[in-house]
Structure 1
């Protein structure tokens, strides 16, 4: 990067951090530290909710996912607007009426302490692990730019976020997120505009999408009902609905965002804002990935987008062999490029389009095989090498092809997105640990100052745990999918517990507690043996908790009657 990019990057991030700390001054008690004194307006709530979900993973991995797999991931969000409406009607007024700090306080009032503690424990495991993934995402950026190991950049990024979150609490999180999302929207729009400008002169926006479509990348809608297909309309509307209900309704990282609203109405408007904007935003981010894909049909892509791994093999004994495979790849691209130009011409004349499209697909398969041959050499050199480079596609495009200044801004955007979502997660982990564990089980009569200090200590503790997890995140493949798979292992069970609490008044704490434990075992078995696509695990877990809860309640009731 140029000195201009470094200046833009540094000033943007520094301004965001200072602004958040300035706006959060004066948090002298646990209510102000964890919930911002419940005083924030709807637009602040809405942007904070979006920023918590839209981590660096969204802006780094989503374009790469579209590049390799097309637009079908957008179906993942089809259940979101329905989930927002349900939450506004049910969860939000209950949480505000009870004036809880965390979602899990409600469960003790409805069931018992062990159910509250178990649900909080599931959340802490899931969110603690996934927060590490969100820290790892921007460390990829700095690693690529500086050409150093991600271990060092992970430690740096994690430390910065932990420090300002420990100091400022939820107000620092919310105010920085509001500013972050404003900059992010502008930056991503500029990125999309620049991709189109960098395409060949006669290839505009519409033709770029047509070319991508002929290569099976514009697969936005899939109506097939297939339990093993990760992304269809049905997995999005049904499986995605239950995932979003659990994430926004029971995950403290999101509940804590809209509990900061000054009223039920402000919280509801913030959630509805998220429901209306999230799908268009995700669609546009994926669309940028499609445009980058079209760009690389004319401009030769690297054989492997992770330059750090490439540099390692180029300094090894396998360098000559890798260079041979790379040359084969270059020749295959030249052949494919000829076929792409023929397809371009066919689209102009509307003649022989299908034949040209078939030839491009065949040439693309040949190119992919040459790429795999090169990666096989890379694997020989380093058996632990991560061969999934989708997280590096957009980053490579930005750093190699965008103008000075804009590179720094876009990299700052990805870093800010990570900081925002990570800060929200750390804040939620701290509130759950301090309120549901420390305040409830260890010290019930402490002062406000004591609880405030414990909240800061637990924020720091979870920051360390998350950084440790981030150091292993490189083994998880595409980060966007990894974080959602991890959530799906727990969200169905957690949502089932809450739905039983709301709608099945006959079921007691003992039945739902043991039902949830049995369910979690079944969910892990279903995942291990690949019974269904991961989004269905949310529905599967939710239904099992309800069924086991009702069944066990009837058994316990019969035993009690017999006695």
Structure 2
């Protein structure tokens, strides 16, 4: 990579880290460290919430998702506006007015200590694994750029980020997120301009070609529990996921608990409701543009350069045969695409689609050969956008994109680790081990907890990078836990529910989600949120009613 790109990366990271550390110098109590003394303006909280989601996972995983699968993924977010409105009138004023440090503190007030602890523990597991996925995203980029081993890339990203997070607090994280949003949006718009400029055919004709492959299809109204991206899974499963994530996940709750007032907390959530879907659509469209760019330019047979080199070295004859077929398929597809752009009608588009399917067939055979030769997962969707940026974008663009990826990762990881430390200290260390101590002591324990969770996240990162699309992986991890956690909070808002119902209902919800996750047939992860929440509420309500009837009978 050219030295100018490195200068861009270094300058941006220096500004973010320096400003973050400058803002933490006055932090001497746990409210300042964990909640920014409840002083953040709504727009900073809103941008921080959005920046946490527009992380390196989004820049890499979602663009790759758009390139391989098109716009269907945007249905995943259809439930977001509904969830934000519901949270604005329910949990947000509830938790902000309670003056708690974590969302799970309220559960002890409403039910009992064991329900609080179990719910917080489930959050720690889900968010710890998701933090690992966020570290994996920039590690994938560095691995693709320099050919370094993935483990070393994880350490390179994780160690300095953990050090920064240990020293920083939520205020530093939030203001770093504001800068992050600026660089991310700038990088995305720059990539759009370059890709459109590089297309050899008019944009409307190019999208016509993409439509022939189904990549411009947004809505899928089929109803299936095994299909992930449909209108109904987005509206129903997506609403439950967003309610769980923004309403009960400490990494998000901690943001609006740091807002100045309930009204400002509501406004911060509405910002996401208005802007999240357009931003996600933009990122997916970039993925479609990447597909179109590689339609008219030679596309790598394997986007992961390390796997490409390993297959070439270990099985040279098989590699040569696949490469020959792939080159021929690319040439035929390019010719068919140019014809479809100039000659209107269904016949040229059908011809192009047939040649595109042949390219996909050869690529799948190459990916299968990689898996067989190396024993590693060969799904290389996370390498598509890094290869494009490094191989084809003008000088300086690679630096801007890499700065955006690294800054997004550092900011998001810092936010995740800070919330993990908050729950660990407040819900476990302070609640069960040392209820009374100085703020200096709790700050020290919070920093140690941050470091421990950082190490855990790095271990997860080495595994998460091999699981396919990182945007899917992070939501798959969350969906396993989120629905059941949401169910407990729903029970808390229902009168006459009891502690035994909440605790047993939570256990039942997790058990059922585990059964549908690992059973046959496996239910798509978006539906896990609905299933978990419904099971917890039904079981918890039934047990609470049973206890109430028993108590009434005893009194009689």
Residue equivalent to 2:504: 514
Q: Deviations over 1:357-392 (max 9, x none)?
A: 11111111222222233333323321x222111101
Q: How does 1:80-479 map to 2 (within 5 A)?
A: 80-200=80-200, 203-316=201-314, 318-346=315-343, 350=344, 353-382=345-374, 384-479=375-470
- TM-score, with structure 1 as normaliser: 0.96
- Residues 165 and 172, structure 1, Cα contact 8 Å, conserved in 2: no
- Residues 322 and 378, structure 1, Cα contact 8 Å, conserved in 2: no
Report the alpha carbon displacement of residue 551 of structure 1 after superposing the two structures with TM. 1.2
The list of structure 1 runs, each at least 4 consecutive aligned residues, that deviate by more than 6 angstroms after superposition, is none
Output the CA distance in 2 between the equivalents of 1:167 and 1:499: 36
Q: Deviations over 1:256-285 (max 9, x none)?
A: 111111111111111111111100000000
Task: Identify the range of structure 1 (154-163 vs 552-561) with the bigger mean alpha-carbon deviation.
Answer: 552-561
Output the CA distance in 1 between the equivalents of 2:38 and 2:368: 55
Residue equivalent to 1:70: 70
Output the CA distance in 2 between the equivalents of 1:498 and 1:183: 36
Report the alpha carbon displacement of residue 406 of structure 1 after superposing the two structures with TM. 1.0
Output the CA distance in 1 between the equivalents of 2:368 and 2:49: 42
Specify which of 469, 475, 484 is matched with residue 493 of structure 1. 484
- Residues 105 and 116, structure 2, Cα contact 8 Å, conserved in 1: yes
Report the alpha carbon displacement of residue 494 of structure 1 after superposing the two structures with TM. 0.3
1:122 match: secondary structure: helix
Residue equivalent to 1:46: 46
Output the CA distance in 1 between the equivalents of 2:436 and 2:131: 31
Report the alpha carbon displacement of residue 561 of structure 1 after superposing the two structures with TM. 4.6
- Unaligned 5+ segments in structure 1 are none
Q: Does 1:524 align with 2:521?
A: no
1:500 match: secondary structure: helix
Task: Identify the range of structure 1 (365-374 vs 474-483) with the bigger mean alpha-carbon deviation.
Answer: 365-374
Output the CA distance in 1 between the equivalents of 2:141 and 2:340: 35
Output the CA distance in 1 between the equivalents of 2:204 and 2:14: 39
Output the CA distance in 1 between the equivalents of 2:371 and 2:187: 36
Task: Identify the range of structure 1 (3-12 vs 318-327) with the bigger mean alpha-carbon deviation.
Answer: 318-327
Q: How does 1:526-545 map to 2 (within 5 A)?
A: 526-529=516-519, 530-545=521-536
- Residues 326 and 371, structure 1, Cα contact 8 Å, conserved in 2: no
- Residues 66 and 287, structure 2, Cα contact 8 Å, conserved in 1: yes
- Residues 140 and 465, structure 2, Cα contact 8 Å, conserved in 1: no
- Residues 464 and 473, structure 2, Cα contact 8 Å, conserved in 1: no
Report the alpha carbon displacement of residue 18 of structure 1 after superposing the two structures with TM. 1.1
Report the alpha carbon displacement of residue 24 of structure 1 after superposing the two structures with TM. 2.5
- Residues 206 and 341, structure 2, Cα contact 8 Å, conserved in 1: no
- TM-score, with structure 2 as normaliser: 0.97
Aligned length: 553
Output the CA distance in 1 between the equivalents of 2:412 and 2:350: 42
- Unaligned 5+ segments in structure 2 are none
Output the CA distance in 1 between the equivalents of 2:548 and 2:263: 41
Output the CA distance in 2 between the equivalents of 1:283 and 1:331: 33
Output the CA distance in 2 between the equivalents of 1:245 and 1:51: 18
Output the CA distance in 2 between the equivalents of 1:376 and 1:256: 43
Output the CA distance in 2 between the equivalents of 1:515 and 1:107: 14
Output the CA distance in 2 between the equivalents of 1:114 and 1:170: 27
Output the CA distance in 1 between the equivalents of 2:52 and 2:193: 26
Residue equivalent to 1:61: 61
